[in-house]
C-alpha cells in the first residue's frame, strides 16, 4: 500500500462512517453523527453537539438526553432533522415523527426508531472543539425485537450508508 500525504481534514474525511442517530433533548429532536460509546461499566455513551445548536442550551439546562438509532429507510427523516431548527417550530410534527414517553428521564423518545437509550449527563469534555461532548450514563434502554444491526444507518461527510454484511463473529477480541 502506497499512501499519499493529505491534509489533516482530508484524513478525517477518509473515515468510513459512524452510526447516525436522532438525539432527543426536552421536546426537541436533532440528527447527530457525533456519537460513540464511552464505557462498558457503567454502560455510557458520548454525544457531541455544536454550541450554536438550539439543543445545546437545552441539554446544558436539562442534563438528560436520549439517543435514538436511525434505520436505513429513514434517510429523509435524518436529513430533515439535521437541517431545520427546533427553535421556531415543532420538528416532530414537521417531519412526521411520533413522541414516545421516556421512562427514566424528563424527555421523549422517537417512537419510529428501533433503539432508544435514555441517558443522564455525568461529564462534559472540557477541551475546545467544534463540538461540545457530553458523556451520558445509560439509565434505560429500549430495543425493537425485530431490529438487526443491518437495519441501522451510517453517515459520514455527506454519505448515508447501510451497515455491511457480517464477515466474522468471534468473541476473542
Q: Of 13, 51, 47, 14, nearest to 31 (Cα)? A: 47
Q: Of 48, 54, 58, nearest to 130 (Cα)? A: 48
**Which whole-number Å values give the CA distances from 48 to 31, 55, 148, 172, in the listed order?**
11, 11, 25, 31
Q: Of 140, 111, 128, nearest to 42 (Cα)? A: 140
94 lies in the binding site for a copy of itself (CB under 8 A): no
Which residues have C-beta within 8 Å of that of residue 57, sequence separation ≥ 6? none
From the CB of 156, what's the least distance to a copy of itself, in Å? 7
Residues 141-170 that bind a copy of itself (CB under 8 A): 141-145, 147, 149-150, 152-156, 158-170
Question: Which region among 53-61, 79-87, 88-96 touches a copy of itself (by CB under 8 A)?
Answer: 79-87
39 lies in the binding site for a copy of itself (CB under 8 A): yes
75 lies in the binding site for a copy of itself (CB under 8 A): yes
From the CB of 62, what's the least distance to a copy of itself, in Å? 19
Q: Which of 3, 52, 88, 101 binds a copy of itself (CB under 8 A)?
A: 3
From the CB of 118, what's the least distance to a copy of itself, in Å? 9
Amino acid at each position: 500500500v502506497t499512501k499519499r500525504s493529505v491534509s489533516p481534514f482530508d484524513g478525517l474525511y477518509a473515515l468510513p462512517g459512524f452510526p447516525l442517530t436522532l438525539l432527543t433533548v426536552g421536546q426537541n429532536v436533532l440528527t447527530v453523527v457525533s456519537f460513540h460509546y464511552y464505557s462498558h461499566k457503567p454502560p455510557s455513551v458520548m454525544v457531541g453537539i455544536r454550541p450554536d445548536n438550539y439543543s445545546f442550551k437545552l441539554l446544558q439546562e436539562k442534563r438528560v438526553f436520549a439517543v435514538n438509532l436511525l434505520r436505513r429507510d429513514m434517510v429523509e427523516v435524518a436529513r430533515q432533522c439535521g437541517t431545520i431548527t427546533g427553535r421556531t417550530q415543532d420538528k416532530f410534527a414537521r417531519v412526521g415523527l411520533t413522541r414516545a414517553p421516556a421512562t427514566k428521564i424528563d424527555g421523549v423518545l422517537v417512537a419510529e426508531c428501533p433503539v432508544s437509550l435514555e441517558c443522564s449527563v455525568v461529564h462534559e469534555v472540557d477541551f475546545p472543539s467544534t463540538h461540545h461532548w457530553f458523556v451520558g450514563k445509560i439509565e434505560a434502554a429500549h430495543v425493537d425485537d425485530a431490529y438487526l444491526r443491518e437495519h441501522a444507518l451510517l453517515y459520514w461527510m455527506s454519505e448515508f450508508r447501510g451497515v455491511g454484511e457480517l464477515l466474522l463473529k468471534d468473541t476473542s477480541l
